[in-house]
Amino acid sequence: MTKKILILPGDGIGPEVMGEVERIIDWFNKERGLGAETERDLVGGCAYDAHGQAVSDATMAKAQEADAVLLGAVGGPKWDGVPFDVRPEAGLLRLRKDLELFANLRPALCFPALADASSLKRELVEGLDIMIVRELTGGVYFGEPRGIEDLPNGERRGFDTQVYSTHEVQRIGRVAFDLARKRGNRVTSVEKRNVMHSGVFWHEEMVKLHKAEFSDVTLDHMLADNCGMQLVKQPKQFDVIVTDNLFGDMLSDVAAMLTGSLGMLPSASLGGKDANGKAKALYEPVHGSAPDIAGQGLANPLATILSFAMALRYTFDLSADADLLEKAAETVLAEGYRTGDIMQPGMKKVGTKQMGDAVLAALTKL
Ligand code: NAI
Ligand code: MG
């Protein structure tokens, strides 16, 4: 069966880093029989320029059809003045919402060759391999009621609502426990049940789910503020962290800094399974469109390449191929290849294309 991949390079450095991924997909088609069929389309500012919408209905239909969507990055100063509902980021939000991508997977993996780029000491991060699973479609970013209102006494107030229901906690919990089974078999569920009702509820539902379906996995619990502290103090204690939208937003950014560079961080957003058991999925680097270096061939393509490795693992179930690609990235770093963002003294400075070449050479050698 052919595998359909929709490629949405987006704006800024998006098309540059995605160009390297397309060469890598070709390599997997030729050398490993991947059988992927790719199609390119527009998202973000470039889509707004073309048809006044950050993502068109036609593109959305293709995204619904595809087995996996690979996205580069969207946005840039060119579109600063465009109306809120058609701004480049609106394209990303529509993709997440319409594909019901409720699980955001953010690995924090420290490559040995880059351990000195971490905000922490080498011994704390060398060999680090954490997976943060963030709930992406619920919680306080979406809960009703929300708003800003005038009060009779002349004051104003702003408010948001943190709300989770059983099925929302259960489905994100299942993603986390399933992942843990393929990794270190440990899940840390993070909330603030000491001060939040939704935290008490989250904790209760995780305990129930664990007991009913995943008692072979170790489950522990941590308050979100302590988790932030522990990530910085002793990050290697974690395997899989599962948490809500807000805490996940913050904790995944903290974890990102443990690994060194923004240009190295992949992500996956997974949705529910359809009638054929197929989950929608979108893979993208964590970084943005980097307008400061766009169009110069300087961007680090590794985060986008590693996002494609996640697609091999999670959508196509090809973990040997995913391992191979991750190993190739590790190899080029060990060989000393560095784009500007991860440059260190004595290393070989390369651009986007040469980094892609190095990964392809490593794939062929491995
Ligand atoms: P950014 O991630 O684009 O850039 C931050 C800094 O990191 C810049 O100095 C940039 O040159 C560098 N950088 C980022 N990725 C790199 C790579 N692959 N290789 C080398 N250097 C890299 O974040 P910033 O500057 O806050 O946002 C720029 C634009 O991107 C904005 O319009 C923002 O809205 C958008 N953005 C889009 C995201 C997405 O599409 N998911 C996520 C974050 C920002
Ligand atoms: Mg964030």
Q: Is residue 55 assigned to a domain?
A: yes
Q: What is the pLDDT of residue 272?
A: 82
Q: Which residue is closest in CA terms to ligand 1's atom 1?
A: 288
Q: What is the pLDDT of residue 68?
A: 97
**Count of beta carbons in the 10 Å neighbourhood of residue 345:** 4
User: Is the same domain home to 85 and 182?
Assistant: no
Q: With contact defined as beta carbons under 8 Å apart, do 54 and 94 qualify?
A: yes
User: Is the same domain home to 70 and 170?
Assistant: no
User: Is the same domain home to 93 and 70?
Assistant: yes
Q: Which structural domain, as residue segments, surrounds residue 344?
A: 1-105+265-366
Matching residue, tokens 């009779």: 152
The answer to whether 81 is a known ligand-binding residue is: yes
Q: Is residue 114 assigned to a domain?
A: no
- The yes-or-no answer on residue 283 being catalytic is no
Q: Rounded distance, CA 271 to CA 72, Å?
A: 19
Q: Rounded distance, CA 190 to CA 192, Å?
A: 7
Q: What is the pLDDT of residue 15?
A: 98
Domain boundary, last residue among 258, 281, 314:
258
Token readout for 215 is: 């008692």
Query: Omega of the bond prior to 107 within 30 degrees of 0, cis?
Result: no
Token readout for 209 is: 């789910």
Q: Is the ipTM of this complex over 0.90?
A: yes
CATH of the domain at 226: 3.40.718.10
Q: Is residue 8 assigned to a domain?
A: yes
Q: With contact defined as beta carbons under 8 Å apart, do 134 and 268 qualify?
A: no
User: Distance from the CA of 184 to the center of ligand 2, in angstroms?
Assistant: 26
Is 252 touching ligand 1 by the criterion CB < 6 Å?
no
Q: Is residue 121 assigned to a domain?
A: no
Q: For residue 363, give the 3-state DSSP assignment.
A: helix
Residue 260: which of 47, 118, 133 has the closest Cα?
118
The answer to whether 96 is a known ligand-binding residue is: yes
User: Is the same domain home to 330 and 245?
Assistant: no
Q: Rounded distance, CA 318 to CA 341, Å?
A: 30
Domain boundary, last residue among 207, 240, 258:
258
Is 288 touching ligand 1 by the criterion CB < 6 Å?
yes
Q: Is residue 119 assigned to a domain?
A: no
Ligand 2 ion: Cβ-proximal residues, 5 Å cutoff: 249
- The yes-or-no answer on residue 3 being catalytic is no
Q: Which residue is closest in CA terms to ligand 1's atom 42?
A: 288
User: Is the same domain home to 134 and 245?
Assistant: yes
User: Distance from the CA of 215 to the center of ligand 2, in angstroms?
Assistant: 32
User: Is the same domain home to 275 and 241?
Assistant: no
Catalytic: which of 253, 273, 274, 327? 253
- The yes-or-no answer on residue 225 being catalytic is yes
Q: What is the pLDDT of residue 359?
A: 98
Give the ligand 1 atom nearest the CA of 292.
11
User: Is the same domain home to 243 and 289?
Assistant: no
DSSP state of 119: S
Q: Are strands 186-191 and 337-338 parallel, antiparallel or unpaired?
A: unpaired
Q: Rounded distance, CA 322 to CA 329, Å?
A: 11
Catalytic: which of 97, 225, 233, 348? 225
In this prediction, the residues of the chain whose per-residue pLDDT falls under 70 are none
- The yes-or-no answer on residue 323 being catalytic is no
Is 304 touching ligand 1 by the criterion CB < 6 Å?
no
Residue 72: which of 88, 53, 49 has the closest Cα?
88
Token readout for 296 is: 């110069």
Q: Is the pTM of this model over 0.90?
A: yes
Domain total in the chain: 2
Is 267 touching ligand 1 by the criterion CB < 6 Å?
no
Residue from 69, 95, 261, 262 whose mutation best tests the ligand 1 pocket (most atoms within 8 A of CB): 262
